[in-house]
Structure 1
Amino acid sequence: MARFLFVLSRGAEDPTRCVRCFQFAKIAVEKGHEVTVFLVDDAVQLCHLSITERIKAPTGDECLPYLRLLQDRQVPLLVCKPCAEARMIGEDDLPQGFRISTGATLIDLAAEAKVFTF
C-alpha cells in the first residue's frame, strides 16, 4: 500500500478544508494505506476537540467523527511545534493520538509520501 501525508493549515474558519482533510485521511486508512496527518498554522487549534466538534462542511459532514476514527486507528496526528507554541498549546494540552512535531519531520515525511495539502 501507499504512504500518504495530509497537511492541514486551515482552522475552523475554513470548515470545508478541515473536514475534507480528515475525511480523505480516513478513506486512505480504510483502504489500508499508511497515513500521517500534520497540522500547521491555524490548524493546530483543531487539537482542541471542543473546537473540532463544531466544524461542519456545507454538505453536512462533520470533522470530529473522521478525527475520532483516525485516533482509534492510531494514525499519527502531528502538531507543528512553533505553530502550537504561538497559540499557547503544549504537549500536555494534546488529546490522545496527537503529538508535537517539527518542520524537519514534516520534510522527512513528505520526502517518502504522497502529499495532500489543505
Structure 2
Amino acid sequence: MSEKQQKILYMCTVGGEDAEKASICIGLANAALALEEDVSLVLMGKSVYLAQKGYTDHIHQAGERAPLKKLMNDFMELGGKLLVCKPCIEERNMEISDFIEGSELATGTTLNMAILESDKQLTF
C-alpha cells in the first residue's frame, strides 16, 4: 500500500469491438484498487456498453486475460467508482436502469471535476 492514497482516473472509450484494449484498461484499474488506491473508471463513447447488464457475459479476450464480465465484476467488488457518460447513453437511447448496479451517470461537469480532482489520468 502506498503512503498517500492516489486518486486515479481511467477513461475507457472502447467496448466489445476492442475487448483487448477495454480489458487492459479495466485490468489496470483493478490492479490499482488492489493497491488500495482511489479509482474511478469513466466509460465514454462505445465503452458505455461495458456497463450494460448482460453485455459482457459473452465477450472473452483471447489469451490469458480474464473475461470482461469478470473484470467488471471485480472492479465493482473492489470498490471502484463507475462513471457512465450521460450524453453517450442518451445518444444510444439507453437509461441508467440498463446498467449494472453501482453505475453512476456523469455529465461533462462531473467528468471535468473528476479529472481536476485526480492525481493521475489514463485514457484507453
Q: What TM-score, normalized to structure 2?
A: 0.88
1:99-114 mapped onto 2 (5 Å cutoff): 99-113=104-118, 114=120
Secondary structure in 2 matching 1:57: coil
Superposition deviation, residue 59 in structure 1: 2.2
- Provide the C-alpha distance between the structure 2 equivalents of 1:69 and 1:100, rounded to a whole number of angstroms: 20
1:24 match: 28
2:103 match: 98
1:116 match: 122
The percent identity for this pair of structures is 27
Runs of 4+ in structure 1 off by over 4 angstroms are: none
1:15 alignment partner AA: A
Aligned length in residues:
118
2:72 alignment partner AA: L
Question: 1:49, 1:64 within 8 Å by CA — same for their partners in 2?
Answer: no
| Structure 1, 47-56 or 68-77: larger mean CA deviation | 47-56
2:111 alignment partner AA: L
RMSD (Å), alpha carbons: 1.3
Unaligned runs of 5+ in 2: none
- Provide the C-alpha distance between the structure 1 equivalents of 2:30 and 2:86, rounded to a whole number of angstroms: 24
